[in-house]
């Protein structure tokens, strides 16, 4: 028989659906959780008492279709220097976001066919793999949602992007066409470059 400990990841997180699928009963699972002092950190996700909770990893587990974006990605790429106050994700239109918003997460939505444009993964400071948009998609999101950013952060992010050696202007324009902002991006690039 499978042991519950086989389903606990290296950071002390266990996901109830994985354990139930393995044939372990809910009674056995909840006895284990109670006996070992596990704490519920999200629906169906529990952490051991000595686990350092990686909130972005938990959010990625909780909402596997979501991608970290906007403020979160701008900060990760060093395009802004202020750490985001709220975690920011993008999910497809039609996904029920009310629980996420209630939990203080900033949620953007896009058409389902645009969700994976520019999606990549990174290993965060906790050693977990999380989905995030690449730099060019992040710049497109910045321009598309410019009214939701402070002008200083907006300008800093664009100028910093343009000055980077690892920028990919061809990819940026390819994404910009998909989001119908290519003329706006071209206009900004002409001013900055």
Among 20, 22, 21, 51, which Cα is nearest to 38's? 51
- Token pair, residue 31, equals 């006895």
> What's the pLDDT at 1?
45
CA dist 136 and 173 (Å) reads 9
Domain boundaries, given as residue ranges, for the chain: 4-53, 56-192
CA dist 138 and 122 (Å) reads 14
CA dist 101 and 103 (Å) reads 5
Single pTM value for the model = 0.86
DSSP letter (8 states) at residue 146: G
Residue corresponding to tokens 């400071």: 125
Is residue 141 within 8 A of residue 131, CB to CB? The reply is no
Q: What is the mean pLDDT of the chain?
A: 92
Q: Which regions of the chain are under pLDDT 70? A: 1-2, 193
Say how many CA atoms lie within 13 Å of 71 toward its Cβ.
Answer: 15
> What's the pLDDT at 2?
65
Is residue 18 within 8 A of residue 33, CB to CB? The reply is no
Per residue in 51-77, pLDDT (tens digit) is 888 889 999 998 999 999 999 999 999
144: left (phi over 0), alpha (psi -120 to 50) or beta: alpha
> What's the pLDDT at 134?
98
Distances (CA, A) of 157 to 18, 75, 175: 40, 9, 17
> What's the pLDDT at 53?
80
């Amino acid at each position: 028989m499978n042991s519950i400990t086989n389903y606990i990841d290296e950071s002390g997180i266990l996901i109830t659906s994985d354990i139930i699928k393995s044939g372990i009963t809910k009674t056995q699972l909840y006895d284990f959780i109670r006996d070992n002092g596990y704490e519920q950190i999200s629906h169906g996700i529990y952490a051991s008492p000595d686990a350092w909770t990686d909130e972005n990893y938990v959010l990625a587990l909780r909402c596997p279709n979501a991608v970290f974006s906007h403020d979160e990605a701008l900060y990760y790429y060093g395009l802004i220097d202020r750490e985001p106050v709220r975690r920011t994700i993008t999910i497809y239109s039609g996904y029920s976001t009310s629980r996420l918003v209630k939990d203080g997460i900033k949620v953007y939505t896009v058409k389902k066919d645009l969700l994976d444009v520019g999606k990549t993964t990174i290993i965060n400071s906790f050693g977990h793999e999380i989905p995030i948009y690449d730099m060019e998609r992040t710049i497109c999101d910045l321009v598309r949602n410019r009214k939701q950013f402070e002008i200083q952060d907006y300008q800093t992010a664009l100028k910093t992007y343009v000055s980077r050696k690892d920028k990919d202007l061809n990819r940026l324009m390819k994404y910009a066409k998909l989001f119908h902002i290519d003329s706006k991006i071209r206009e900004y690039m002409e001013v900055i470059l």
